[in-house]
Chain A
Amino acid sequence: MNCQQARPLIDFYADGELDADGILELEKHFHDCPACALEWRNAQALKKSLKQDALYFTAPAELRRAIKTELHSQVKPRENFWNWNWLTAATTSFATVCLALVLTVTLTRPSADQRLTQEIASSHIRSLMPGHLLDVVSTDQHTVKPWFNGKVDFSPPVKDLKAQEFPLIGGRLDYIGGRSVAALVFQHRKHVINLFIWPVNGKDSKPASLTPIQGYNVIHWSEANMTFWAVSDLNEKELMEFVQDYHTTNPL
């Protein structure tokens, strides 16, 4: 290797983008060529110079606050919020204070959601014991969906996410929160995802929220009068992907 060949490789070497053969040859060249060896030291010095903490700008607290405020205002767009007159507003805030007082007393117990999350995790763990996972074994959503007829009093939105690498492997009847629910079982690599579904009365859809529990991740959301609980030992990113894919895929 000569200097002309060596020089462009110095950056790649410093950036960790040079293959093993290149590294060997380049190091050999440094050994023989003090000028290139100096270039290499200069490259390292420059790197260190650029990596100083003082050069990294951290986000000002005011910016962080402004963004959070803005996000929260986007979350609940209530068009007529500002049309409320002040009397209504005052009454509402008084009522809110009273409610808050009552809630502080009652909510020292775990909330309904917390209890459900625990139940979901337990049910997931139980389903993984031999012979408990599937009542209907099928990768065909057209088999799985009708299977629930007569077993639960609703028709769960069954979707196959094979294309997104979360194939449906079957379904199961389960019992959560004092009622029969549908459990759809998906697989991602070796990981099992249980998706529990049952109907709810509220019209509001509820955005997804993630809760880690006992080493599992649980994501809960509601839409189209159904409530959904996805649980798996998948990492949160992949489970989020699953939920996002499920949400955007049309049911059959």
Chain B
Amino acid sequence: MASRTSIFMANGLFEQTVLPHLDAAYNLARWLAGNDHDAQDVTQEASLRAFKFFGSFRGENPRAWLLTIVRNTFYNWLKKNRPPEIAGELDDEALMVEDVSVNAEAVNLRVADASAVQRAIAELPVEFREMIVLREMEGFSYKEIADLSDVPIGTVMSRLARARKQLQKRLAGEFKPGGQK
């Protein structure tokens, strides 16, 4: 008795708690993997892992918990399926220095067209992309993102800042003429 497996395994509870966040899981996987086919594979594998490890879920935030698993699944998948130079580590130290510099060009950014934004996000390094998804699309706090992606909070902040700089640069020329609200 007293197995480590979850008593909730089979029945409704997993479906009630975790499956409502399937969209968030797929969205993260889709942004990380870059295409639907791989994203579906990653999401499916992550869901099954989540199911198996549901016993270790402490009941705080099922969405963050599921996304942690999606993220780990994705990086494992990446190691197996992509050449190492793409999966390379980022030098966060170097990023910090540039982040604090005052941006000389005074772009006047408007709400940009979705397809332009999509292209701009897709061009970001994967470590930046995940910060943008977790912060802007999922609304997690810096602390939550740090826990979720297992990096120091300072790294979260510097990656976010750097990602935004790049997005702003790319979108500066592409805002909708006339803008929106």
Instruction: Give A222's nearest chain B residue, CB to CB.
Output: B7
Residue B78 interfacial (CB < 8 Å): no
Q: Cβ of B40 and Cβ of A210 under 8 Å apart? A: no
Q: Is the interface of A mostly helix, strand, loop or mixed?
A: helix
Residue B121 interfacial (CB < 8 Å): yes
Q: A63-B40, A248-B55 are in contact. Are A17 and B8 (CB under 8 A)?
A: no
A156 to B93, CA, bound (A): 58
Segment at the interface with B among A19-27, A142-150, A182-190, A233-241: A233-241
A208 to B5, CA, bound (A): 12
B100 is contacted by which of A8, A39, A63 (Cβ under 8 Å)?
A: A8
Q: Which chain A residues (94-143) contact chain B, with CB distance < 8 Å?
A: none
Contacts of A67 in B (CB 8 A): 19, 22, 43-44, 47-48
Nearest chain B CB to A247's CB is how many angstroms away?
4
A211 to B167, CA, bound (A): 47
Q: Is the interface of B mostly helix, strand, loop or mixed?
A: helix
Q: Cβ of A49 and Cβ of B112 under 8 Å apart? A: yes
Q: Count residues on chain B whose CB falls below 8 Å from chain A CBs.
A: 67
Contacts of A50 in B (CB 8 A): 117, 121, 132, 136-137, 167
Taking Cβ atoms with an 8 Å cutoff, the residues of B that contact A are 1-4, 6-17, 19, 22-23, 25-27, 30-31, 36, 39-40, 43-44, 47-48, 51, 55, 58-60, 99-100, 102-103, 106-112, 114, 117-118, 121, 132, 135-137, 141-142, 157, 160-161, 164, 167-168, 171, 175, 180-181
List 11 A-B residue pairs with CB atoms under 8 Å apart, sorted by A's residue number: A48-B111, A49-B171, A56-B23, A58-B23, A59-B27, A62-B40, A63-B43, A66-B44, A208-B7, A237-B59, A241-B59
